[in-house]
C-alpha cells in the first residue's frame, strides 16, 4: 500500500547506509592487516611480501578467520625460507596485527558501522559458512547489517501504521 511506501523506502535507505559503512570499515581493517603483515615481511626480508599484502587484504574480508589464515601463510613462508627463528618473529608480528584488529579496529570501526551483537555475527558466520561455504562467510555480515538497519528503520517509523503525514485530513 502507498502509505507504507515512505517507511519502507526510508528503512531500505538506512539498510543501504549501513552496508556502505560496513564495507568502508572493512576495507580500512583489511588495509591495516595487510600493511602490518607486509611491513613485518619486508623487515624480515621474506620473499613475496607484496603477494602476502594481496592475500592478507583479500582474506581479511572473511570475518574472524580470514586474516588469521593469511598470517599463517606468512609464518609458513618465513619458516620455509628463513628458518624457525624468523618464523617465530613473523608469528609475533602476526599476533600483534591480529590483536590490534580484534581489540581496537573491529570494535571501534565495525561496531560503529553496524550495530550487530558479536554473537549474532558469529552465529551468522557459522550459518553462512555451512549453507554457502566461503561465499556465505563473506556475505553474511553485510547482509545481516543491511537487514538489521532495515528492520530498525521500519521499527522507528512504527511500521504497520501509516505515517502521520500520510493520513488523510479529517473534514470534521
Full residue range of the structural domain in which residue 34 is found? 2-164
- Count the domains in the chain: 1
pLDDT digits (tens, 9 = 90+) for 28-86: 989 999 999 999 999 999 999 999 999 999 998 877 778 889 999 999 999 999 999 99
Q: Is residue 169 assigned to a domain?
A: no
CB neighbour class for 136 (10 Å; exposed up to 12, middle 13-18, buried from 19): middle
* Closest listed residue to residue 152, CA positions, set 12, 19, 20: 12
- Give the separation between CA 29 and CA 64, rounded to whole angstroms: 12
Q: Is residue 171 assigned to a domain?
A: no
pLDDT score, position 131: 93
Q: Is residue 141 assigned to a domain?
A: yes
Q: Phi-psi category of 55—alpha, beta or left, where left has phi over 0 and alpha has psi -120 to 50?
A: alpha
Q: Is residue 19 assigned to a domain?
A: yes
CB 34 within 8 A of CB 60: yes
pLDDT digits (tens, 9 = 90+) for 4-21: 787 788 888 888 888 888
What's the farthest any 2 CA atoms get from each other in the chain? 88
Amino acid at each position: 500500500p502507498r502509505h507504507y511506501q515512505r517507511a519502507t523506502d526510508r528503512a531500505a535507505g538506512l539498510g543501504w547506509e549501513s552496508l556502505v559503512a560496513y564495507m568502508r570499515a572493512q576495507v580500512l581493517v583489511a588495509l591495516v592487516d595487510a600493511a602490518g603483515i607486509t611491513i613485518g615481511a619486508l623487515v624480515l626480508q621474506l620473499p613475496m611480501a607484496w603477494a602476502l599484502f594481496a592475500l592478507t587484504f583479500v582474506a581479511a574480508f572473511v570475518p574472524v578467520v580470514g586474516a588469521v589464515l593469511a598470517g599463517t601463510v606468512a609464518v609458513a613462508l618465513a619458516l620455509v625460507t628463513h628458518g624457525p627463528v624468523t618464523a617465530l618473529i613473523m608469528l609475533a608480528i602476526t599476533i600483534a596485527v591480529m590483536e590490534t584488529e580484534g581489540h581496537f579496529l573491529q570494535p571501534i570501526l565495525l561496531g560503529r558501522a553496524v550495530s550487530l551483537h558479536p554473537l549474532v555475527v558469529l552465529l551468522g558466520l557459522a550459518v553462512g559458512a555451512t549453507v554457502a561455504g566461503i561465499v556465505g562467510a563473506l556475505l553474511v555480515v553485510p547482509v545481516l547489517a543491511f537487514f538489521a538497519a532495515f528492520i530498525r528503520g521500519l521499527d522507528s517509523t512504527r511500521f504497520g501504521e501509516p505515517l502521520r503525514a500520510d493520513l488523510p485530513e479529517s473534514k470534521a
